[in-house]
Amino acid sequence: MTRQAEVHFLHGTEALAQQYFNVRARSMMLCEPLSEEDCCAQSMPDASPTKWHLAHTTWFFETFILETFERNFHPFHPQFRMLFNSYYNGVGARHPRPQRGLLTRPPLCEVFDYRRNVDARMLALLSEPGVAQSMLQLVELGLHHEQQHQELILTDVKHLLAQNPLMPAYASQPGAEPRQTLPLDWLSYDAGVVEIGHAGIGFCFDNELPRHRQFVEPFKLASRLVSNGEYLAFVTGGGYANPALWLSEGWDWAQVNRITRPLYWYAPDEKTDQPDWQEFTLHGLRPLELHAPVSHLSYYEADAYARWAGARLPTEAEWEVAVNGRHEPMMEAMHPQTARQEGLAQMFGACWQWTSSSYAPYPGYLPVAGATGEYNGKFMVNQYVLRGSSCATPAGHARASYRNFFPASARWQFSGIRLARSAT
């Protein structure tokens, strides 16, 4: 996959129409390496078939925009309103998430027709004079929503292909990457009252608001992410066998599920006759790159490793203070890359970084009115915040205030570790 031009979301119907076309086209491009069978299978309840992602993102535009703003609205198919609703209870009935892979009908070709139909109607709507600002805001939300699903397409496909004993690749092998790991330095930050949350113009999700003050104690942050080689020392050094390193719930999770290494890692002589550690990637099974950042870790594993390393996970306020509005260039590499710069590196574009912050509302948070208010707020329980972005995040979709969130046991996303220490 080639690097994509960064999408900047601008105001105005003409610019938004072009952005709509670009984002929707990229979703279809992600399907090009896949067979119809690849697009229709579901590997676990947390993942969804690619066909469902393509239909659901189209459902969003039909349900929240065309249904309200299109004259003489008629649905493409009346049953799609239920089949491709994800979690919007205010919209109506939903097909159970764990059973999305059983939806052999409609066929993939009809989902493609659905996308073409809705795209034509959306672009026609955007070309009309006097488009309501409320509609433009929903279109912008829908495009960022689709970019989230573009990342999910890649992570869900990776999990699906990993279940196949042939270990097939999604994409061809990339070129050689730098093999040297930069030294891990500790960068110091002073105590003080800071502001976090989205500021200024530009899109954000409602969970990034309002911008507010927060006090942070002095702390230190690692200059880069933890590498595969460093995490391998934790694995081979008995980290998964030492209950003193683990949260009680994490220890129980690891024991019940027999977790002894990151997802997609294979020990020597396991799966293949190779004498070295292997890792399944979107490029197929490859030797473990010791200098690349470790990924596909749960919160439990990240927390245990931090304790083993004599450190801890940062809070989301500490992470955002360290970023301080900076933004690194992003490469859509489909595999986490080694750090390429001295100082603070890999804040974006490598792995989502677990923080110790529970996913909770900011002071003064209010969800938006209507069904779209279910987008973030109702999930603010039993989840942890991840910051940054990953190698699978679409270019232009990351920002310093972005709050990703998953349950502590989730690890099929490109989630890694940045260490922190208290300076007092």
pLDDT at 274: 63
Which amino acid is residue 231, in one-letter code?
A: Y
Q: Give the orientation angle of helix 13-31 with respect to helix 133-162, to 10 degrees.
A: 10
Poorest-confidence range of 111-120, 262-271, 410-419?
262-271
* Mean pLDDT score, 31-58: 98
pLDDT at 7: 38
In the chain, DSSP finds a helix count (H) and a strand count (E) of: 11, 12
305-314 residue pLDDT tens: 999 999 999 9
CA angle in degrees (0–180, nearest 5) for 412-299-290: 65
pLDDT over threshold 90, residue 72: yes
pLDDT at 340: 79
pLDDT at 332: 61
> If DSSP codes are grouped into helix, strand and coil, which group holds residue 315?
coil
How does 249-282 read in b/e, with b if 16+ C-beta sit within 10 Å? ebbebbeeeebebbbbbbeeeeeeeeeebbbbbb
pLDDT over threshold 90, residue 318: yes
Q: What is the DSSP string of 133-191?
A: HHHHHHHHHHHHHHHHHHHHHHHHHHHHHHTSTT---SSPPPPP---PPPP--EEEE--
| C-beta separation of 126 from 137 below 8 A | no
pLDDT over threshold 90, residue 370: no
pLDDT at 328: 57
| Arch. (CATH architecture) of 186-422 | Alpha-Beta Complex (3.90)
> If DSSP codes are grouped into helix, strand and coil, which group holds residue 55?
helix
CA angle in degrees (0–180, nearest 5) for 58-399-397: 25
pLDDT at 173: 75
Which amino acid is residue 100, in one-letter code?
A: R
215-259 residue pLDDT tens: 999 999 999 999 999 999 999 999 999 999 999 999 999 999 999
CA distance 273 to 286: 13
* Mean pLDDT score, 174-182: 67
| C-beta separation of 395 from 332 below 8 A | yes
CA distance 192 to 148: 34
* Mean pLDDT score, 135-149: 96
Q: Where in the chain is the domain with CATH 3.90.1580.10?
A: 186-422
Residues whose CB is less than 8 angstroms from the CB of residue 321 and which lie 6 or more positions away in sequence, other chains included? 189, 194, 196, 216
Using DSSP bridges, classify how beta strands 352-358 and 415-416 pair: parallel, antiparallel or unpaired: parallel
93-132 residue pLDDT tens: 999 999 999 999 999 999 999 999 999 999 999 999 989 9
* Mean pLDDT score, 357-386: 92
* Mean pLDDT score, 324-347: 78
Residue 342 banded pLDDT, cuts 50, 70, 90: confident
How many CB atoms are closer than 10 A to CB 39? 19
> If DSSP codes are grouped into helix, strand and coil, which group holds residue 355?
strand
CA distance 347 to 358: 20
pLDDT over threshold 90, residue 63: yes
pLDDT at 335: 87
Residue 21 banded pLDDT, cuts 50, 70, 90: very high
- Give all strands (DSSP E) within 218-344, no chain letters: 219-222, 265-266, 278-281, 284-287
CATH, domain range 13-162: 1.20.120
pLDDT at 312: 98
Could you identify the residue written with the tokens 């190698």? 391
CA distance 141 to 137: 6
Residue 4 banded pLDDT, cuts 50, 70, 90: very low
pLDDT over threshold 60, residue 275: yes
Q: Where in the chain is the domain with CATH 1.20.120?
A: 13-162
CA distances to 220, 256, 369, 403 from 232, in Å: 24, 22, 47, 28
* Paired tokens of 365: 């948070």
**Nearest residue to 102 via CA among 56, 42, 159:** 42
pLDDT over threshold 60, residue 2: no
Residue 180 banded pLDDT, cuts 50, 70, 90: confident
CA distances to 55, 136, 163 from 207, in Å: 25, 20, 34
CA 287 to chain centre: 24
